[in-house]
């Protein structure tokens, strides 16, 4: 049943990197957690608040579809269709680079309003 919900693009990409549905879902979630950690450090949020935010997960998944999967298929789709042997690692590295590029994008309107306050007593200024 879950296979019917999988887009054709997603199926092509996960086969190109040699992962099953569960493994690919875990890969996306692991990258989502990394993205949340980057945002939490950059904007002083609790990473837990970001990771458990379903709206952010949905946003990230949509961005993954557009900026990772579609981009991979646009740039390497013809090679992926040829099913060239021993290319899993290559496509995985490319996919990882695209996922890292996602760290530059964030939805300011979806981020929680409450931030962690930094105690001035313990803040270091390097001037």
Domain locations along the chain: 8-122
Q: What is the pLDDT of residues 80-117, one digit of tens each?
A: 989 888 899 999 999 999 999 999 888 888 877 766 55
The encoded tokens of residue 8 equal 């054709």
Q: What's the predicted TM-score (pTM) here? A: 0.81
Alpha-carbon Rg for the chain, nearest whole angstrom, is: 18
Q: How far apart are CA 18 and CA 70, in angstroms?
A: 17
Which residues in the chain land under pLDDT 50? Answer: 1-3
* pLDDT attached to residue 94: 96
Whether the CB-CB separation of 26 and 65 falls below 8 Å is answered with no
Where helices occur in 1-126 by DSSP H, the ranges are 2-5, 8-16, 21-43, 47-51, 54-63, 70-81, 88-101
């Amino acid at each position: 049943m879950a296979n019917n919900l999988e887009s054709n693009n997603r199926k092509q990409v996960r086969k190109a990197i040699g992962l099953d549905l569960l493994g690919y879902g875990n890969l996306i979630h692991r990258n989502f957690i990394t993205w949340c950690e980057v945002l939490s450090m950059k904007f002083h949020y609790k990473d837990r608040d970001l990771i458990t935010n379903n709206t952010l997960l949905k946003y990230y998944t949509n961005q993954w579809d557009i900026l990772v999967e579609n981009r991979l298929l646009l740039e390497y789709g013809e090679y992926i269709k040829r099913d060239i042997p021993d290319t899993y690692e290559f496509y995985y590295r490319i996919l990882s680079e695209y996922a890292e590029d996602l760290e530059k994008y964030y939805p300011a309107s979806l981020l929680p309003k409450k931030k962690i306050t930094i105690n001035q007593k313990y803040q270091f200024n390097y001037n």
